[in-house]
Chain A
Amino acid sequence: MIKGLWWKLTGLGLILYSIVAGQMIEVPELPVIHQTIRNLFYHVCMWFAMFTMFGTSLVYSIKYLTGNKPGNDIMASESVYNGIFFGILGLITGMIWAKFTWGDFWTNDPQLNGAAVSMMAYLAYAVLRSSIDEKAMRARVSAVYNIFAFMLLVIFLGVLPRLADSSLHPGKGGNTSTMQGLDLTMRLVFYPAVIGWIIVAFWILQIRARKRRLVQNVNQINK
């Protein structure tokens, strides 16, 4: 993990900028969406942060399987928990947005269903971990399942919504992509927001992993 304060401050700064600028800028006047388009700066960033966390945990799981180092298992599991946190935030922000644009908290949309099922896959990962007592076995089995779960995530959020007949999300089910419809001022807020949230996600991950290592060391001393 990277040392120092500069990258954390960069992340915080980018998020602060996106919150302030996200409320200040002029947004294009679109039907149905109107001013709620500003939620793009929060809702979509959550999913980007979640995807990054799950990707990180995939990398650490593969590293664990090739090297059997306990540190990699801690990183893999903590990034999954962190990713679940961001996924729940993404669901909540998305539900609020859906209420104000589509009229309901939940719609039968391939993207929504995919997000729900892949969250269940990762919650199952948490249950699986807690059901195995032996440490090395727990690390290995959960690493194997984690690779499956990431494959599901890619299928659910990357492949199936694009194959679906209809979707309310842009870029899916024959709709045009978000990026084509996004005007320049919005991009100038959106991209920094994504980067900022990803940096903060890594910061949280670092703290969580440190805490786990400390707890483990304390337990060993107590023994």
Chain B
Amino acid sequence: MKEINELVRKDFLLELRQKYAINGILLYVVSTIFVVQLCLGRVIDENTWIALFWIILLFAAFNAVSKSFVQESAARRLYYYMLAPAVSVVLSKMIYNSMLMLILGLLSLLVFIVFMGFPEFNLALFLPSFTLGCIGISGALTMVSAIASRSGNNAALMAILGFPVVVPLLLLLVNASRLSLKAMVPVTDIVKSISGLFLIDVVVVVLAVILFPYLWRD
């Protein structure tokens, strides 16, 4: 537990010291949304809103998470290896990336609302699925970036390995967002969408905890 805390704190400190990374991603999100607004105009229908929002957030997530294992040099990896068990390393990365992703997601939601307006979502469904979606996407991409960091050409692999992994989450998220547009959503449907997302999150975390130690040692 203590190691996880320290490792998360270290990642946050690093992020705050080299601000260009997080600022770059934020600028990317803002400029993409602005371009969308320029191209499509302010008034778009709800389905387009949902699709664009999740696609932009997905690419922001790729940018934000892909560096999480690449920035660790071989020497530093060895250092962590001696300090903490592999499970704490991967859990700390996942926690850190989820927090980063939630902050990023909320900020892009804000920018989206400012530029494109806000469809009348049922917040009881939209907010939990948004939170679970951010956690799931960042967790899955953390694992993918750990796999990709072990190979030669990282950036290309990150995209092709990550894409199939996040598609089921993306589909569930888009479905949940569409569902939350309806005026009256039955409680069973809400529970069904949220539990689907929750299940995928749990599977991702469990697989990461079991499999990461095999990736970690040399």
Are A152's CB and B165's CB within 8 A?
yes
Assembled-state Cα–Cα distance A151/B202 (Å): 13
Tell me, yes or no, whether B207 is within 8 Å of chain A by CB: yes
Return the contact of B168 from the options A132, A147, A152 (Cβ within 8 A). Answer: A152
By a CB distance below 8 angstroms, the chain A residues around B161 are 124, 128, 145
Are B164's CB and A131's CB within 8 A?
no
By a CB distance below 8 angstroms, the chain B residues around A117 are 164, 167
Are B168's CB and A144's CB within 8 A?
no
Q: Hey, what's the 0/1 contact readout for A60-81 against B, CB within 8 Å counting as 1? A: 0000010000000000000000
Report B140-169 residues with CB < 8 Å from chain A CB.
143, 147, 150-153, 157, 160-161, 163-165, 167-168
Assembled-state Cα–Cα distance A140/B157 (Å): 16
By a CB distance below 8 angstroms, the chain A residues around B207 are 147-148, 151
Assembled-state Cα–Cα distance A131/B207 (Å): 23
Distance from B213 Cβ to chain A, minimum over Cβ atoms (Å): 10
Are A131's CB and B152's CB within 8 A?
yes
Are A131's CB and B165's CB within 8 A?
no
Instruction: State the main secondary structure of chain A at its contact with B.
Output: helix
By a CB distance below 8 angstroms, the chain B residues around A152 are 164-165, 168
Q: Hey, what's the 0/1 contact readout for B202-218 against A, CB within 8 Å counting as 1? A: 01000100010011001
By a CB distance below 8 angstroms, the chain B residues around A121 are 164-165
Are B215's CB and A141's CB within 8 A?
yes
Tell me, yes or no, whether B25 is within 8 Å of chain A by CB: no
Tell me, yes or no, whether B190 is within 8 Å of chain A by CB: no
Assembled-state Cα–Cα distance A133/B152 (Å): 8
Question: Number of B residues contacting the other chain (C-beta, 8 Å)?
Answer: 24
Are B143's CB and A148's CB within 8 A?
yes
Interface stretch of the complex, out of A28-36, A90-98, A155-163, A212-220: A155-163
By a CB distance below 8 angstroms, the chain A residues around B196 are 163
Distance from B172 Cβ to chain A, minimum over Cβ atoms (Å): 8
Are B203's CB and A131's CB within 8 A?
no
Interface centre among A124, A140, A152 (most CB of B within 10 A): A124
Are A131's CB and B163's CB within 8 A?
no
By a CB distance below 8 angstroms, the chain A residues around B21 are none
By a CB distance below 8 angstroms, the chain B residues around A155 are 168, 200
Residue of A nearest to B192 (CB): A163
Assembled-state Cα–Cα distance A132/B215 (Å): 13
Are A144's CB and B160's CB within 8 A?
no
Tell me, yes or no, whether B123 is within 8 Å of chain A by CB: no
Return the contact of A118 from the options B143, B164, B192 (Cβ within 8 A). Answer: B164
Tell me, yes or no, whether A143 is within 8 Å of chain B by CB: yes
Are A141's CB and B171's CB within 8 A?
no
Are A144's CB and B171's CB within 8 A?
no
By a CB distance below 8 angstroms, the chain B residues around A133 are 152
Are A140's CB and B151's CB within 8 A?
no
Report A119-155 residues with CB < 8 Å from chain B CB.
120-121, 124, 127-128, 131-133, 137, 140-141, 143-145, 147-149, 151-152, 155
By a CB distance below 8 angstroms, the chain A residues around B157 are 124, 127-128, 131
Assembled-state Cα–Cα distance A145/B150 (Å): 12
Are B160's CB and A132's CB within 8 A?
no
Are A132's CB and B151's CB within 8 A?
yes
Which residues of B does A touch, CB under 8 Å? 143, 147, 150-153, 157, 160-161, 163-165, 167-168, 171, 192, 196, 200, 203, 207, 211, 214-215, 218
Q: Which 5 A-B pairs have the closest CB atoms?
A: A121-B164, A131-B151, A124-B160, A132-B151, A144-B211
Beyond the given pairs A124-B160, A124-B161, 10 more chain A to chain B contacts, judged by CB atoms under 8 angstroms and listed by A's residue number, are A124-B163, A124-B164, A127-B160, A128-B151, A131-B152, A132-B152, A137-B150, A141-B151, A144-B214, A163-B192
